[in-house]
A = this chain, B = another copy of it.
Amino acid sequence: MVMCLFKKGKKYVYMFGEAGTSPIRGSKDLGKDILGGKGKNLAEMVKLGLPIPMGFTITTETCDIYYKNNKVYPQQVIDEIEKELSRLEKIMGKKLGDAEDPLLVSVRSGAADSMPGMMDTVLNLGLNDQAVEGLIKKTNNPRFVRDSYRRFLQMFGNVVMEVPHHDFEEALQKIKNAKNVKLDTELGVEDLKEVVKSYKAVIQKATGKMFPNDGREQLKMAIDAVFNSWNNDRAIVYRKLNDIRGLLGTAVNIQSMVFGNMGDTSGTGVCFTRNPSTGENKFYGEFLMNAQGEDVVAGIRTPLEIAELDKVMPDCYKELVKIYQNLEKHYKDMQDMEFTIQEGKLYILQTRNGKRTAAAAVKMAVDMVAEGLIDEKTGVLRVKPEQLDALLHKQINPTAKKTAELITKGLPASPGAAVGQIVFTAQAAHDQHEEWKKVVLVRTETSPEDIVGMVASQGILTARGGMTSHAAVVARGMGKCCVAGASEIAVDEHTKTLTIKWKTYKEGDIITLDGSTGEVFAGLLETMDPELSGDFATLMTRADKYRTLGIRTNADTQHDSEVARKFGAEGIWLCRTEHMFFAEDRIKAVREMILSEDVNGRKKALDKLLPFQKSDFIGIFTAMEGLPVTIRFLDPPLHEFLPQEEKDIVELARDMNVDLDALKKKIADLHEFNPMLGHRGCRLVITYPEIAEMQTKAIILAAIELKKQNKVVLPEIMIPLVWFKSELDFNLDIVHKVAKETMDAEGVQVEYKVGTMIEVPRGAITADKIAQTAEFFSFGTNDLTQMSLGFSRDDAGKFIKEYVVKNIFEKDPFQTLDQDGVGQLIKLAIGKGRKTRPNIKLGICGEHGGDPASIEFCHKEGLNYVSCSPFRVPIARLAAAHAALKNS
């Protein structure tokens, strides 16, 4: 069993730090897939001739076999470990557990992808009762050694032998009480001896086993513990969250310990080759003399800036500078390094590509190209598209955040920051906005009726709904900050209060939302505007050079169109017309239409809407002059335009001068059990052709008016929710007839295209037929996902988390396109559509149009466009460039 998993002649343990032991298999350097990131970097630094404490790496393949083989590895691995360990001892001239000059090692995890803090680490391994004596001899520092031993016992006991932390704390506290001291540091050498004894007892009591005195036994147990930590809950969740997949497991790095706390010529530090916050090309970091790594982090002593090292240990500093320059040149990226100076000798413990802020990422990507360190393509790939999001919205000043009162947390539904007085209704938002007040709209959930209030607000906070709830989707579309599904809050619209646990906030109280984190703060926090620097523009221009996908936007207003164009949108691919119907000056006519008993009444009401629609389109066409604008006909079910609350209904009946009971009956008649699957989209036109007539007329009239002004207008009319070709044709007949009549009447001809949304699974399945009359398809991946998965995004919030937690699916399919399911339908439709009409224009307009993974799918499947909300256009541009570069 074991043997068949092993390849004969394969090697599982590789030494680093000794010349001639570079990990090579065949004629190829082993990569981080086999050595892990840390192991690979150590090996590489050795090759670069850097001062690395010697050690060896057990490969990720070993971890894989360990799991496949029921957590047992065969003799070959044990033999190899022993062989390398002996060699290490020999070269170092020290022995594990030696009473004269003991070898101490660290045992660290290290997967191919960095998973900081997720897996286990053991330091100072090799200490035992004998080795302690040896180390005291070498260091002449009994307190440090005894303290190290007690720390090692605790770390080993906890990490390797799984004794609860708490047991050690308790034992320690007992001794501190007995000695009548408060701080650990007040314990003397003899006290520490007592602690060690007590810790050993703790271990034995909790596990029934003795603490292993033998260093080799310790090492074996620690290696097992690291392998086991690959699959602890924390690590699994981290990999899921960070989308780390397809790895063999973790490698284990055993490295001889060096000590920064052996006196004034010792020290330790962390440094970055450039500033990770700003991107500035200047050595950055901090250090402490006579200290261990954990002291830097613990914050008891204040570390010094790295430049200070030049004064303290000028030789070490100069060496460090040379090393960092080399490393950056070698890795061609900003490095995050750890170093230790032991008695005047510098050791590099680790290097890796450094994490950085979005602003820093952009600056470095541009600077490094200018410096000739990387080429343009690499520069473009260096910035993650998602990162840009942080640069495109208002943000809360991080300093202000530190002292603010966090009152609750919801979902980070739409990024940015919002500060304002609480209001509880769309009407109040609108009214107070008119009085120049800044407001935050707080609702249990939003509905299309709230649009006017959302527009008037700085941000939106809802108690219910997920990342793709109405509030979230509309807010993202507006580029407006939104925190959704803050389930701790209770909203009472009548008393105008918002209760969080025991605290109540009322209308007019000021709150601050952070839409990028979901945080809600009491009071006013300082915010900062986004600054799209020159580097940002440079990066975008380069992205455009490499991408092949067209990027359009979803925009319903002239303002949004202008914003999107500024962000680089190459036209509109989805202009929803329903939002236009909610404005105060239109909703009345819309309701009149709905409540009409016959076609003449509806036409009369629609005639009132016509000038509004026309002026909407004139605005949008003007903003997008010369670029194509795809306008989708009315989509939602009509009941969305009628009030649902008793009091609003009464008011409407009075306003419209209609019988209250008749109105209620109409509203009841329009009620749908499953509005998502109801009378909406082009189905409305089958029943009420006059709606399509009006919308066509408005589009054509607007186009004619601009053409008369010699402006270039490229309207495209899109029919939503098509599932039968006959249904599309019914709509198109109306479009062509009315367009012709309108152009004939005006004596001006304008060109327009017609196409359809593919958002119902049947539409995708029969795309070959639909393409006979549709000049373009837009994949409405929101609805297509909902219908293909049978999964309403309005309701999903309640149980989708369980699906992610329980690993039912890898990612929320409303955030990233479900390529195995929905993606297959899209592929089918692309194939069928192109078969009928080879030059058919294809794009997507769902929320996925702004998601980098989904954009890569669109690129690979050869779509012409992706479309997203204005504020995601730069992200989409960069993601499209990545997709092109990765798949070229």
Contact = CB atoms under 8 A, between A and B. Distances in A.
B687 A799 contact: yes
Contact of A821 (B676, B765, B795, B807): B765
A115 interface: no
A496 to B, nearest CB: 19
Range of interface residues on A (Cβ < 8 Å)? 35 or more
Given A790-B762, A790-B787, A808-B724, A674 B803 contact: no
Contacts of A769: 820
Contacts of A802: 686-687
A445 to B, nearest CB: 9
Contacts of A765: 788, 820-821, 824-825
A730 B803 CA distance: 11
Contacts of A809: 724, 726-727
A734 to B, nearest CB: 12
Contact of A674 (B677, B723, B730, B807): B677
Given A726-B807, A790-B783, A795 B762 contact: no
A333 interface: no
Contact of A789 (B687, B723, B795, B803): B723
Interface string A652-690: 000000000000000001001111111100010011000
Contacts of A679: 795, 798-799
A155 interface: no
A416 interface: no
A791 B676 contact: no
A12 to B, nearest CB: 32
A721 B803 CA distance: 14
Nearest to A790: B760
A792 interface: yes
A28 interface: no
Contacts of A787: 677, 761, 787-788, 790
B673 A675 contact: yes
A127 interface: no
A497 to B, nearest CB: 16
Contacts of A759: 790
A678 B791 CA distance: 6
Nearest to A728: B808
Interface string A159-182: 000000000000000000000000
A443 to B, nearest CB: 14
A686 B799 contact: yes
Nearest to A469: B673
Contacts of A723: 789-791, 821
A806 interface: yes
Contact of A808 (B677, B726, B791, B794): B726
A786 interface: yes
Contacts of A807: 726
A704 interface: no
A407 to B, nearest CB: 21
A674 B759 CA distance: 17
A120 interface: no
A761 B677 contact: no
A677 B726 contact: no
A765 B825 CA distance: 8
A543 B822 CA distance: 42
Most buried by B among A674, A723, A769, A824: A674
11 contacts: A669-B798, A672-B794, A674-B676, A676-B677, A676-B792, A723-B821, A727-B808, A760-B790, A762-B822, A787-B787, A787-B790
Q: Which are the 9 A-B pairs with shortest beta-carbon distances?
A: A677-B792, A674-B792, A762-B821, A760-B790, A673-B794, A678-B795, A761-B788, A761-B761, A674-B676
Interface of A: 669, 672-679, 683, 686-687, 721, 723-724, 726-727, 730, 759-762, 765-766, 769, 783, 786-792, 794-795, 798-799, 802-803, 806-809, 818, 820-822, 824-825
Given A678-B792, A683-B799, A766-B820, 14 more contacts: A672-B792, A673-B676, A673-B794, A674-B674, A674-B677, A674-B795, A676-B676, A678-B795, A723-B790, A727-B808, A760-B790, A761-B789, A762-B818, A787-B787
